[in-house]
Amino acid sequence: MDGKTTTETAYYLLSTPLSAERLHDVVRYHWGIENSLHWVLDVTMNGDQSRNRKDHSPENLALLRRLALNIAKLEPSKGSMKGKLKQAGWDNAFLAKLPVQFAHPQMR
């Protein structure tokens, strides 16, 4: 030993070896979630710009954002998610009917 220290960086994607087909399914499932929920939250609610860091506020606000998104998804009118959330902020009558949709969801 000459007193030199070496380091090696290892990156692990999965803890279990998978076949190529199974890895494909796992990756597609992950990106399906990313595209259907996280991306929508980022675009409609600008979640990446959130600066709350203290105590439980990040988890609490994330929960409220997901709840608002789910309630807006249940609202049957056509239109974008961002548009529905803006309308809820502008129109008290529209906002008041959203929780009713949540309590009595309709089959689509």
Residues of the chain with pLDDT under 50: none
Structure tokens at 20: 């190529």
pLDDT at residue number 21: 92
Residue 2's Cβ-side half-sphere holds a number of Cα atoms within 13 Å equal to: 2
User: What pLDDT, on the 0 to 100 scale, is given for residue 1?
Assistant: 60
Confidence at residue 79, expressed as pLDDT on a 0 to 100 scale: 85
Q: What is the DSSP letter of 58?
A: H
Which spans in 1-108 are helix H? 20-33, 39-45, 57-74, 81-90, 92-103
Dmax over CA atoms of the chain, in Å, equals 76
